[in-house]
Amino acid sequence: MPEQHLDNFLLQQQQAAERVNQAILSALDALPFSDLPLASAMKHGALLGGKRLRPFLTYTVGTMLGVKINNLDIPAAAVECIHAYSLIHDDLPAMDDDDLRRGLPTCHVKYGEGNAILAGDALQTLAFQLLSSGLMPDVADKDRIAMLAELAYSSGLAGMCGGQALDLEAEGQQVDLESLERIHQHKTGALIRAAIRLGAYAAGSKGHAILTMLDKYAASIGLAFQVQDDILDVVGDSAVTGKRQGADAQHEKSTYPSLLGLEAAQEKARELYFSALDALKEIEAQGYNTQTLIALTNFIIERKS
């Protein structure tokens, strides 16, 4: 990505992160029991940093479709609350047993397992509280309901949780490539698709009209993101990624590098990259400016963390 385009993209990403962080913080500050460790654990898990990829997708797709940005803060915050809860629970000793997240102690290390479990639970319910009653002045009720249904479906057994369960079942086993893709399409891809769809639903009929094209884009970048994660677990610097290098191998997880080899995994990421760009060409042909989504696609396979 040219340096000027990268700078513009990173600025947009930073602005989106600041908006969603403020929306999440405002929602957390409005809750009772702010003096409990649970409240601090929720803030730690939700505001620890990170790329804010999912909220960025919600903002980008919504604005591409002409939605005013103040209608997108709530869905962006909701999808990030779900993502944050999933990370808190993924890090628990019964799951991935990680003590480092984004270079800082994981939630259960800092606040104890009980508070970490509750923090994840409470962030999950906060997501649906936000979507059901948060301020989205130009969004029709039917589209708000569509958002609720989408996030619930993509977060549960049919989506993220189902993918995590498949991942747990596969630990210590050598799964085939088809099974690995099935894991990642649910564990990572489902919530990425949901983030994109939330931005589209905020646009009403315009968003509904291009859902098929957006889903094709989501499927490609969702898998590309996970392939790149697998690659970074092999070649990444823990000081940059904020996670222990080699954690997947330690847990005997099947990954794209372990199944295909590192070079073939990198080629897989490139194939998915071009598939995502093809989907964006279809959207551009409908009269929409996809430049920010193109920049994001570049970022996903070029990232180092």
Cβ atoms 226, 198 nearer than 8 A = no
Closest CA to 168 of 271, 58, 89, 285: 89
Strand-pair partners of 114? none
The CATH code of the domain that includes 263 is 1.10.600.10
Instruction: Encode the chain (305 residues) as per-residue pLDDT tens digits.
Output: 566 667 788 899 999 999 999 999 999 999 999 999 999 999 999 998 888 999 999 999 999 999 999 999 999 999 999 999 999 999 999 998 999 898 899 999 999 999 999 999 999 999 999 999 999 999 999 999 999 999 999 999 999 999 999 988 888 888 899 999 999 999 999 999 999 999 999 999 999 999 999 999 999 999 999 999 899 988 865 554 455 555 555 556 788 998 999 999 999 999 999 999 999 999 999 999 999 999 999 998 887 76
pTM given for the model: 0.92
Total domains in the chain come to 1
Number of H helices, E strands in the chain: 17, 2
Expressed as residue numbers, the domain containing 215 is: 3-302
Query: ∠ CA 100-103-108 to the nearest 5 degrees?
Result: 35
Cβ atoms 99, 63 nearer than 8 A = no
